[in-house]
Structure 1
Amino acid sequence: MNIILTILRGIYVTYAATVFLAIMFVILPFIFIISFQGRLKGGNIMAYFMRCWAHIWFAFSGIWCKRIYQAARKRETCIYVVNHRSYLDAALAAKVMGLPFRSLGKVEMGKIPFFGFIYKKTVVTVDRSSAMARARSVREMMNTLKANISILIFPEGTLNESGQPLREFHDGAFRMAIETQTPIKPVLFLDAHARLPRKGLLYLNPGRCRVVFLPTVSVNGLSLADVQELKQRVFNAMDTVLRKYHQYPNPSLQLAG
């Protein structure tokens, strides 16, 4: 039975990867042409191509999404703060987040042939090994927010492999929210890690992906002295909801003050 399941899994993953690559090569020429429209205008147009890519790939891969809104939907520029447990998260974000938006992503992904070109044109990349590069990424994100384009940040900074709902958050998203007076929209990807576990691509499987949109957190009137309190408030809200949907063995991780 295990051999049969392994063969079926291999067939499914090969099929899903083929569909992913086929869509990528179809849209690649359009992305190249649109790139001449500039980073802001061109990036907004590219976001629709990325959404189309995600919609097609998820449908053909047998992965369906369910959006759960804990507050009334509202179109506004915001900073999406999202938990990060799977490499599927980026594709899921392209499918479900309100447009226009940009994600903050690792600069290393831009080195992948073909895909890297699309990645660099649609993501604000950050090189965490360089203070100068990090500062440049922050400036680009702030300029993006000023252009009324939302930003998506994984505040844990890397994949959560802790066994807890969340890893400790970095300050960046919360400092930026306060400095630009941009509201924070916490979002939870509940099942992405089940669809694509950390074990690797060979464990990709079809099924549902629930996405929970939590109430917006206002930063009106806050100063940089409130960063830690704001970070803790958002962390607690996300942690509480995650524990309602999944069981975890240990008490909630508490952030340092």
Structure 2
Amino acid sequence: YVTNKMNTLSELGASKYSFAMLLIFVMPLMIIYNQKWKYYFKYFIYYSFVLLTSAMLIPIFLCRPKNVLNTKIAAWCVSKLNYLYGIEWHILGKEHILVDRAAVIVANHQSSLDLLGMFELWPLMNKCAAIAKRQLLYIFPFGVTAYLCGTIFIDRSNTAEAKASMKEAQNKVMHDKIKLWVFPEGTRNCDGKNFLPFKKGGFHFAVDCQIPIIPVVYSPLLSIIDPVKKKFTPGKVFLNVLPPISTVGMGTQDIEKLVGMVQKQMIDTFRAQQ
């Protein structure tokens, strides 16, 4: 009985070893030659790199917590992924974000890889903070690092708390001449044709502070990343920084018109690059 038991365990161990060796040799081939495997593997590397970088930067950022300039360091680190993936970012209209002033940046949102585009612009904007949903704060270590970079987390389910957070942000933005980055669609939209309806929070913020809105339009990413076809290939992405739109003299009654005007400009620019 003992001998049979040992033989069974030995065979089981050999089977596990054989399976492990099969994975070691087969997986690289699947990643190289199978588009779907390559797609998921590249995303795995992306998220792993971002999380690892976040963890490594926390001790450094603790030396100056909630400082928006910390993001320039994070941008330098994470931007190295562009070389790995063969993504080339081309910035058009960069002169509009070089001015040292408070402003609200509104951008279309297609993919989690939009972060790489943000980090291309961050060194040019110098002082910029992002608005993010509160759920991201609890993704460790990314949320902690984002908090230390001055990211403003908004709880959309709690209107009173969200308004308080935005009020606190207004004082900081105006005092330190910070640009505030907002994705007005509120969530990722990767159909490559249209935009989702814009949420008005960022526009209210700009009008309340009487600061300009600067639209930023990512060109369609479907040529690089296609979640339906599971395609993730090298390519070029254009970041179109449109001229600032003044909000001086505007009030709450002008918000609807302002949102429509900004969205139309952005959609026209987006479609011109399809």
Give the TM-score normalised by the residue count of structure 2: 0.76
Find out whether 1:23 has 2:50 as its counterpart. no
Deviation at 1:108, TM superposition (A): 0.7
Deviation at 1:23, TM superposition (A): 3.2
**CA offsets 1:171-222 (integer angstroms, 9 cap, x no match):** 212221111110010000114455444569x754432221001111111222
Aligned to 2:23: none
After TM superposition, the structure 1 = structure 2 runs for residues 136-147 of structure 1, keeping only pairs within 5 Å, are 136-146=164-174, 147=176
Moved more, 180-189 or 106-115: 106-115
CA RMSD, Structure 1 to Structure 2 (Å) = 2.8
Aligned to 1:5: 34
Find out whether 1:99 has 2:121 as its counterpart. no
After TM superposition, the structure 1 = structure 2 runs for residues 3-152 of structure 1, keeping only pairs within 5 Å, are 4-6=33-35, 7-9=37-39, 12-35=42-65, 39=66, 43-69=67-93, 74-75=98-99, 76-97=101-122, 98-122=125-149, 123-146=151-174, 147-152=176-181
Moved more, 64-73 or 148-157: 64-73
Distance between the aligned counterparts of 1:93 and 1:26, measured in 2? 20
Q: Give the one of 233, 236, 250 matched to 2:264.
A: 236
Q: Secondary structure at the match of 1:65?
A: strand
Q: Secondary structure at the match of 1:212?
A: strand
Residue pair 1:102, 1:151 contacting (<8 A) in 2 also:
yes
Moved more, 212-221 or 91-100: 91-100
Aligned to 1:222: 250
Stretches of structure 1 that go unaligned for 5 or more consecutive residues are 247-257
Deviation at 1:22, TM superposition (A): 4.3
Distance between the aligned counterparts of 1:57 and 1:129, measured in 2? 34
Stretches of structure 2 that go unaligned for 5 or more consecutive residues are 1-28
Deviation at 1:243, TM superposition (A): 1.5
After TM superposition, the structure 1 = structure 2 runs for residues 122-201 of structure 1, keeping only pairs within 5 Å, are 122=149, 123-146=151-174, 147-160=176-189, 164-192=193-221, 194-198=223-227
Distance between the aligned counterparts of 2:156 and 2:72, measured in 1? 28
The letter of the residue matching 2:92 is: I
The letter of the residue matching 1:241 is: T
Distance between the aligned counterparts of 2:88 and 2:239, measured in 1? 11
The letter of the residue matching 1:226 is: D
Residue pair 2:207, 2:251 contacting (<8 A) in 1 also:
yes
Deviation at 1:126, TM superposition (A): 0.8
Aligned pair in 2 of structure 1 residues 137, 193: CA closer, same or farther (>3 Å)? farther
Larger radius of gyration: 2
Distance between the aligned counterparts of 1:153 and 1:238, measured in 2? 14
Deviation at 1:165, TM superposition (A): 2.1
Aligned pair in 2 of structure 1 residues 17, 161: CA closer, same or farther (>3 Å)? closer
